[in-house]
């Protein structure tokens, strides 16, 4: 028994070094992986497999309608909205930053809706998670994702989403959950959900039709000291190397 305990403690120590946390759920011992900041705050990968770090901190800026976003993305978001409105589009941020409590409430409400349709609770939860992220795995909780809606009194959804899909990369935003990448992202098509990654990342992802999971893997092909990724932008030729920030 003593050997088993020592082995268990050693496993926990290794997991701590690897950046994993411990999650106790429904009496079972499981593990959750913490999202890494090695690529910088703008490329942090938060999804069903990567939980927000416990010590993740950021400042919020409040928008005119009361929604909030990470202050670092606000200038680019405002520029994008200003240009969209200059084209005659009427749009607004329907959802920005969310607390973990709010995220949990949304998931519970979606689960209950499926239960009321006749699904078992386990089926309902599985279906709900296709629409609503598990608390701790939502980009809304770190303030760098926004749900953008059309004011349908003046603009159609198609016109707003169409403009955003074609132009959001210019401002450092990506359509995070396209319809043909569900198997990778784990989230169904959400034409309203845009995530900030910054330039030139948004440009490169748009050109190659990559979601964030794919893009981060692809960047590893260009380590510092090896052959760089060359691309043109802003009238100049750039060379990009992959170098973790720590």
Q: pLDDT value at position 240? A: 87
Residues linked to residue 161 through DSSP beta bridges, in sequence order: none
Q: Give the predicted TM-score (pTM) of the model.
A: 0.84
Q: pLDDT value at position 131? A: 87
Q: How far apart are CA 36 and CA 17, in angstroms?
A: 13
Q: pLDDT value at position 165? A: 96
Which residues are designated catalytic?
190
Q: pLDDT value at position 31? A: 67
Cis amide leading into 200 (omega within 30)? yes
Q: How far apart are CA 61 and CA 27, in angstroms?
A: 39
Task: List the chain residues with pLDDT less than 50.
Answer: 1-29
Residue 181 tokens read as 């990448």
Q: pLDDT value at position 78? A: 98
Q: What are phi and psi of 195, to 5 degrees?
A: -120, 140
With residue 128 as reference, give the H or E element that holds it.
helix 121-128
Q: pLDDT value at position 63? A: 97
Q: pLDDT value at position 243? A: 82
Q: How far apart are CA 109 and CA 95, in angstroms?
A: 16
């Amino acid at each position: 028994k003593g050997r088993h305990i020592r082995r268990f403690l050693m496993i926990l120590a290794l997991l701590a070094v690897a950046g994993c946390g411990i999650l106790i759920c429904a009496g079972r011992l499981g593990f959750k992986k913490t999202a890494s900041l090695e690529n910088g705050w703008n490329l942090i990968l938060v999804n069903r497999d990567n939980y927000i770090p416990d010590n993740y901190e950021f400042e919020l800026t409040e928008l005119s309608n009361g929604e909030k976003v990470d202050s670092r993305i606000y200038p680019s978001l405002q520029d994008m909205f200003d240009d969209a409105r200059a084209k005659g589009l009427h749009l607004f941020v329907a959802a920005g930053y969310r607390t973990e409590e709010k995220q949990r409430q949304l998931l519970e409400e979606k689960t209950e809706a499926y239960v009321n349709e006749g699904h078992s609770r386990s089926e309902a939860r599985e279906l709900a998670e296709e629409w609503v992220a598990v608390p701790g795995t939502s980009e809304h909780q770190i303030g760098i994702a926004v749900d953008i809606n059309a004011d349908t009194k003046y603009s159609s959804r198609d016109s707003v989403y169409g403009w955003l899909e074609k132009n959001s990369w210019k401002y450092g935003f990506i359509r995070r959950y396209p319809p043909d990448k569900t198997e990778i992202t784990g989230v169904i098509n959400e034409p309203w959900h845009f995530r900030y990654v910054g330039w030139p990342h948004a440009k490169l992802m748009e050109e190659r039709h990559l979601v964030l999971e794919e893009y981060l893997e692809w960047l590893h092909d260009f380590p510092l000291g090896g052959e760089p990724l060359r691309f043109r932008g802003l009238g100049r030729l750039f060379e990009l190397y992959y170098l973790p920030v720590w």
